[in-house]
Chains A and B, each alone.
Chain A
């Protein structure tokens, strides 16, 4: 079976840095995605990792360790608009490219 774990909630202060962790146990692996979802809106793509290492994109970075089944999303210089749910999703090898999602981490950025 597939199992993806991430914290349910996190709180941070505007201007700070926050790291959202995701661990996964899947039968095969073909990439890990991070999505951001504001309440009532569509999940929007943030990052994709398929090889070990860090991918940086502006204020957001994502890290992957395939041997550890671990990823994190790093958000720097937090802004109020970053308050949202952050979804970790794994694409399992051999599947029809479908994504298996974690339950999401609700991030609240405080002033």
Chain B
């Protein structure tokens, strides 16, 4: 079993839809959780950063962490074609050297 599991998709939605992206993990020591967005031929850029369990909202993006279920989610409201990218979850426990990434979910938002 991989430490971090993420469905690679692809996921295709119409513009304006609510998108739900998820990751599960096996290491209960993870306590820092991140979502990165990666456009084609570009490096990942940080979207959301959360510590421990709970929700965090930033504009159209909401990150949720459920440590008891070892499950994290990213919701995108009113999705736009510019949201089309690969979304990578990442998590770490003690420092960045033990950070683990999911495989990434490729999202396409169609106009």
A and B associate: no
